[in-house]
């Protein structure tokens, strides 16, 4: 899909030349208000675009993990701030990756994210990847 408009910078001020991890990504106040109101949807979108849900088998113990990876420190900051807002514990496993692995945290994420192969309804909308 290709869309052209002179108003993209008005709607998405983060849009600009060059790679996103080389420029500043900061939400405008109106965008932050939407993220604050729809935090679960924001986290869902970020995980569906740059994240994954893994079923690990550590020494015979099955555990769920979520990983989010991005080269932009600003985008990682937006993701972790949203997790903090939801009360979900996270850790940085490396410079570009955020990991969520505690049982309570993965259970919370499973409520509104879940595996990509089964759609999880959120406000009556079904998402599928």
CA distance 20 to 50: 14
State residue 128's pLDDT score.
45
Quickly name the fold that domain 24-112 has: Endonuclease I-creI (3.10.28)
State residue 119's pLDDT score.
52
State residue 1's pLDDT score.
58
Please state the φ and ψ torsions of residue 51, each to the nearest 5 degrees: -130, 180
In Å, the largest CA–CA distance within the chain is 56
State residue 59's pLDDT score.
83
Q: Where are the domains of the chain?
A: 24-112
State residue 28's pLDDT score.
87
**Residue 113 CB partners (closer than 8 Å, separation 6+):** 43, 44, 47, 48, 53, 66, 120
Q: Which of 17, 106, 4, 12 is nearest to 55 (CA)?
A: 106
Joined together, the tokens standing for residue 72 give: 């932009």
CA distance 44 to 49: 9
State residue 58's pLDDT score.
78
CA distance 52 to 69: 9
State residue 118's pLDDT score.
58
Mean pLDDT, each 10-residue run in order, the chain (129 residues): 62 59 78 94 93 87 92 94 98 95 94 72 48
């Amino acid at each position: 899909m290709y869309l052209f408009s002179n108003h993209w910078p008005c709607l998405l001020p983060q849009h600009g030349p060059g790679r996103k991890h080389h420029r500043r990504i900061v939400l405008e106040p109106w965008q932050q208000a939407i993220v604050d109101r729809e935090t679960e949807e924001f986290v869902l979108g970020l995980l569906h675009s740059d994240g994954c849900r893994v079923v690990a088998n550590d020494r015979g113990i099955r555990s769920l993990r979520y990983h989010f990876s991005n080269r932009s420190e600003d985008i990682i900051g937006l993701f972790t701030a949203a997790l903090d807002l939801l009360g979900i514990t996270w850790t940085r496993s490396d410079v570009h990756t955020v990991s969520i692995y505690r049982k309570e945290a993965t259970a919370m994420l499973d409520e509104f994210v879940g595996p990509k192969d089964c759609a999880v309804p959120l406000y009556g909308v079904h998402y599928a990847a």
